[in-house]
Chain A
């Protein structure tokens, strides 16, 4: 199969899913008595002035960064056949503790940021590591334990926020941790707009975008090019064959969950380091669950996940403008939901198609021997027949 056809085949399923989702959503919008064309226009209307348009792009990119990281965290585990639903809890714990740690120390700028990142990754890894240890030592399904740990993370983070890490004054409407000092903030990279000759937007483009790109490249190389990645994928494809080939399944569960958790720990940082500078009650929740959908849409490959995250962020941007056009913002959620559902179906269809095609391609080579069957012994077909006749006569 040529490279072009391979890429075409891998794009086929998600593209089909997006089309199906748009059609279904159009039907829903019609049913609630609105015009789908208006919704479509709002979706692609980035604003009238150049500044508004670049601002829309900033909103999309800033939203896409955490979605991308979340999708990566899910995908790493998924490649090995582990379903890490606990990304949600992992990044919540990581963000609250990293916010606390960042506010507690004063360091030179790059070290301060690095410390916050390391703390967040470590906390995410530990939280995911609990799941791995439970699975390896007690056989607890990672799905169950990670869901449960999500609730524990929710409670623990609230406790930390209102207790030891509380920074806002008594009686304040919004409770937050103490702000991270200037040295612990990640600079914005609005310079790129000047570089590209575009209008400066109102908001700031998260510098963490660069970190996300680096993480994406590292994960991609890790999975596709390293021995560890091979072991990980082999375990995902066939645990029994992997074990027989000498891969220690238990160690792989622990290592993979630690990596997944460490990436999950980064999800809350774009916001924390680039915008809010504290963890508070207005913390963006739900990114961990969206990450599952993003990973699914991106077929667990880093490049695919990047596109999926951009698509989801593009849809999310329209939530507010849609309401101005009298269309409920939940239309966005409906599109995202139907995309995920249709991508699951389309992936399966595409898999069947490629397998059938591959089967036909190689079937031509040896159809003769396949038809030759499995019957005759070392003496060849003729010898078999003779000896069988003799036996039957004897019997």
Chain B
């Protein structure tokens, strides 16, 4: 493993690492979430773990916090091999976790929230005086600025986060894991948080900081470990590494697969979006005034750090999400008000981002999954009835042609590996010969072999005149497959790039907004 060679040197002062992970591998049915993770965190440093969403950061942190046990590898805390069977083991070992989504009871006071679960008691009753004293002490020592008797519902987001941190410190944590702590904060609060982290560091505590915001990571971290596709790909020194170099490490800059650049783009547009705006629950729209055209035989890629409106854009095109304004036109017809089923029948194929949530019925056999989304079309139906025989036969054909490895069409979909599930979905969508295919992260979580064959399938479909809207976090995939590439940032399309003369580094820069001079985007 490349990472091992780069990070193998022991710390200069000879002291053991506060946290050391060796060869951690964690599998879930069908996917390898973490593979050969190597992580070394020195005592008293802020160590950032960066990686795209879905790279395996959360799985790794859950391993470290004892929420599940790794299949392989060892965890060393202060140089001693440790088994973490549950979060309480982790807490006992001095590891505390500050979750991205706060876990606080609104109608309790700060004090009550902090002591909840490890209350100091006197004569069987909560010893408020003792708890208050200890909380003030913590607050002063780490400059957390907490008022023990205020109700949590009256606090702002930054304050709540400090309550979470105090909760962890109160339990005697010496290593704190912060999961995307800045995701919910405004810039001033981020600065305050970084001040707090400085205090923690000064007191000799260790902080593991998970993020994908590169500029913040470079500001606060003492060292950085990069995770990509489930494994650690290297470490970096924030002082000598640029945001772009980090982005490159994070998304991978392997050369795209040999791509025949002969354009198959035809004149006729299949999908046209104009002024598409999708509201979000709070604040600015999730998708903001997007205009986009996909022509026959064209692959239009949407690049962007996740959470910038790509998912909402896809759902809006599929008719799963209502629009604030704008129109969707498909093959010359205005389909803005059409139902999802009508859109599918008209020739819209869909490879969803989360295949378990939107693409499959895990408890149903493969042949029923073949029908899903195609309930109204042959070969699976005859009038009002399901044609089981031809559904099974067609499932067998898909399994053969798309190399889906499974015992048979009656196998439950949940028993297949992620790659095989994905190939079944792609085979299913292709079988209906759609005019436009929406492919959201088509190769996420699939193994190398499946990935290559999925790319081939998409290329073939494009050559046959299918339009493809490709959303991906894999920059090579985007550059390699796309004919036109748009960058999405905060719900807007901020740049249109020519993939034939684009490097992943440049693209990464556009995605984080670095190219527009607006650092701190995403």
A-side residues, CB < 8 A to B, are 1, 225-231, 233-234, 237-238, 240-248, 355, 358-359, 361-363, 365-366, 369-381, 383-385, 387-389, 391-392, 394-395
Contact = CB atoms under 8 A, between A and B. Distances in A.
A246 B350 CA distance: 11
B452 interface: yes
Given A226-B386, A391-B248, A362 B241 contact: no
Contacts of B449: 369, 372
B234 A248 contact: no
Interface string B339-383: 111111100001010000111111110001001111110000100
B27 A370 contact: yes
B70 interface: no
Contact of A374 (B2, B255, B445): B445
Contact of A362 (B255, B376, B384, B406): B406
Given A244-B318, A369-B447, A395 B362 contact: no
A231 B358 contact: no
B386 A359 contact: no
A387 B253 contact: yes
Given A226-B385, A246-B340, A374-B31, A369 B375 contact: no
A244 to B, nearest CB: 4
Given A237-B361, A247-B341, A230 B368 contact: yes
B469 to A, nearest CB: 15
B343 A246 contact: yes
B339 A248 contact: yes
Contacts of B252: 377, 384, 387
Contacts of A227: 375-376, 381, 384-386
Contact of A395 (B31, B237, B339, B417): B237
B257 interface: yes
A384 B358 contact: no
B339 A366 contact: no
B416 interface: yes
8 contacts: A230-B371, A238-B362, A244-B320, A245-B373, A246-B376, A358-B415, A369-B419, A373-B230
Given A241-B359, A362-B415, A378-B452, A225 B32 contact: no
Contacts of B455: 378
Interface string B447-482: 111111001000000000000000000101100100
B9 to A, nearest CB: 13
A83 B254 CA distance: 52
The prevalent SS among residues of A at the interface is: helix
A209 B419 CA distance: 50
A366 B32 CA distance: 13
A241 B417 contact: no
A233 B230 CA distance: 35
Contacts of B6: 392
Contacts of B362: 237-238
Nearest to A224: B386
A229 B388 CA distance: 13
B254 A384 contact: yes
A375 B35 contact: yes
Contacts of A387: 252-255
A174 B254 CA distance: 86
A248 B319 CA distance: 11
B236 interface: yes
Contacts of B342: 246
B415 A380 contact: no
A362 B416 contact: yes
B410 A1 contact: yes
B220 interface: no
Contact of A366 (B237, B417, B451): B417
B29 interface: yes
Nearest to B477: A378
B240 A395 contact: yes
Contacts of A377: 252, 254, 474, 476
A361 B231 CA distance: 28
A237 B386 contact: no
B448 A372 contact: yes
Max chain A C-beta neighbours (<10 A), residue from B318, B361, B416, B445? B361
Contacts of A381: 448
B521 to A, nearest CB: 22
A377 B405 CA distance: 22
B411 interface: yes
Nearest to A222: B384
Interface in B396-427: 405-407, 410-412, 414-417, 419-420
A243 B236 CA distance: 44
B446 interface: yes
A391 B245 contact: yes
B440 to A, nearest CB: 11
Given A369-B417, A379-B255, A241 B381 contact: no
Contact of A246 (B5, B341, B359): B341
B373 A244 contact: yes
B406 A365 contact: yes
A237 B363 contact: yes
A233 B386 contact: no
B452 A361 contact: no
A246 B373 contact: yes
Contact of A230 (B386, B445, B450): B386
B368 A240 contact: no
B30 interface: yes
Contact of B412 (A355, A363, A391): A355
A258 B425 CA distance: 33
